[in-house]
Amino acid sequence: MGFSKNIIITGGAGFIGSHVVRLFVNAYPEYRIINLDKLTYAGNLANLKDIEDKPNYTFVKADIVDASQMKEIFDAYKVTDVLHLAAESHVDRSITNPMEFVMTNVVGTVNLLNSARDYWKGSYDKHRFYHISTDEVFGSLHNPEDFFLETTPYDPQSPYSASKAASDHFVRAYHNTYGLQVVLSNCSNNYGPNHFPEKLIPLMINNIQTGKPLPVYGKGENVRDWLYVVDHARAIDLIFHKGKTGDCYNVGGFNEWKNLDLVYLLCDIMDQKLGKEQGTSRKLITYVTDRPGHDLRYAIDANKIMNELGWKPSVTFEQGLAKTVDWYLSNSEWLQNVTSGEYQKYYSKQYN
Ligand code: NAD
Ligand code: TYD
């Protein structure tokens, strides 16, 4: 069967990547979707069980840091476009092990850019390199009236955001220097099904369920802007197809929450769903030492993507959070496999 595009989606076994792969595989049977993932601790092919047998889906286990492997894959699959999501993504891990972030997020991105530049040479206008980034590159907001715009100067504060900022700069440099047709987006914090339980929302859901302490960093006053992951995937679809080459788009839900208020809300929802007396789970909240260099507030101004591409979130925070909690409650096997490490044993046997 001939496909109109052969698209690599890197990091497709991770949280956001798996939602993007599912959307593309289902919505575009005319595209071949190649999920390129190293299957680090954050990659879990169980996230894609429902689409793994589709004729337009292929999984390739590979490391974007390995330049010769990337070249082979471009040749073998006649890659026409790239959606680049693979990354080390957890700020706390970047504080204990920054070099892994430099390798995957910076070196890995440059390897991919080189492969795309070399393989598409002479026909750049027919191919697109879409780099998926984060709002954390803009740094930390202190004035409540301020929002991150596409024009906000970069000011990354953690090893994670510094590595993502570096990768964004390389992507722009390859557009400017070689003429590679790139597009970028910077999104706020995502939440939803398949989120690895080291991040705030799934960690709290898991700990409430198992009666463990709920570690709130510092006083819980930091603010994050939360977006349902499926709405991010919808934005990525629009930007890939309609975004202006060389441009970037900020994606966010105008949905700011102080960490402590969000944890209270999760406790109350979980008490209700688990048939516990209201207030039970709030007692699990434990204030712990703050993250070093903890960014105070992130808030995205998403007007550009809304006005230019007609995107808007499809669910309210209430709806998205309810869907998320329901998903975790009815997928306890997924959560157990992830927290016990079982998921890695199963797939490493299959792909090593
Ligand atoms: P994730 O940690 O859940 O998944 C990352 C995926 O990349 C995993 O499947 C992992 O196996 C794979 N990977 C890691 N290193 C690799 C390598 N060297 N080669 C190939 N594959 C590798 O991350 P996520 O939360 O889904 O984030 C995806 C992308 O979106 C990242 O680029 C991140 O910076 C960006 N982003 C995330 C958020 C968020 O809230 N999670 C918000 C905005 C932007
Ligand atoms: P996180 O989900 O790690 O995303 P990011 O740091 O990329 O925004 O954290 C979200 C917020 O929650 C952040 O301000 C740190 C805070 N946090 C806690 O208070 N306790 C926790 O156990 C975790 C993981 C995060």
Six token digits for residue 40:
């680090």
Domains (ranges, CATH) in the chain? Answer: 5-194+227-254+298-315 (3.40.50.720)
Average pLDDT, the chain: 97
Q: Kind of pairing, strands 31-37 and 285-288?
A: unpaired
Q: What is the mean predicted confidence (pLDDT) over 19-32?
A: 98
Q: What is the mean predicted confidence (pLDDT) over 71-80?
A: 98
Give the distance (Å) from ligand 2 centre to CA of residue 276. 26
Please name the residue whose Cα sits nearest to atom 1 of ligand 1: 14
- pLDDT tens, residue by residue, 85-115: 999 999 999 999 999 999 999 999 999 999 9
User: 31, 57, 130, 160: which is the annotated catalytic residue?
Assistant: 160
Give the distance (Å) from ligand 2 centre to CA of residue 224. 9
Q: Is the CB of 225 under 6 A from ligand 1?
A: no
Composition of the chain by helix, strand, coil, percent to 5: 45, 20, 35
- pLDDT tens, residue by residue, 318-332: 999 999 999 999 999
d(CA 202, CA 88): 18
- pLDDT tens, residue by residue, 266-310: 999 999 999 999 999 999 999 999 999 999 999 999 999 999 999
145 given a catalytic annotation: no
Q: Is the CB of 266 under 6 A from ligand 1?
A: no
Check pLDDT > 60 for residue 349.
Answer: no
Judged by its nearest atom, the ligand closest to the C-alpha of residue 188 is 1
Radius of gyration of the chain (CA): 20
- Residues within 6 Å of ligand 2 by CB: 91, 189, 199-200, 203, 215-217, 222, 224, 259, 291
Q: Hey, which of 163, 224, 226 would you mutate to test ligand 2's pocket, going by the most ligand atoms within 8 Å of its Cβ?
A: 224
- Of the candidates 267, 347, 341, which has an alpha carbon nearest to the alpha carbon of residue 35? 347
For residue 335, the number of C-alpha atoms closer than 13 Å in the C-beta half-sphere is 20
- Of the candidates 150, 131, 151, 153, which has an alpha carbon nearest to the alpha carbon of residue 140? 153
Six token digits for residue 327:
């998903």
Check pLDDT > 60 for residue 352.
Answer: no
Check pLDDT > 60 for residue 39.
Answer: yes
User: 135, 168, 231, 256: which is the annotated catalytic residue?
Assistant: 135
- pLDDT tens, residue by residue, 246-265: 999 999 999 999 999 999 99
63 given a catalytic annotation: no
User: 136, 168, 225, 295: which is the annotated catalytic residue?
Assistant: 136
pTM for this predicted structure: 0.98
136 given a catalytic annotation: yes
For residue 284, the number of C-alpha atoms closer than 13 Å in the C-beta half-sphere is 23
Please name the residue whose Cα sits nearest to atom 6 of ligand 2: 91
pLDDT at residue 350 in the model: 64
**Residue written as tokens 């788009």?**
249
pLDDT at residue 344 in the model: 84
- Using alpha carbons, list the distances in angstroms from residue 241 to 80, 149, 229: 13, 22, 19
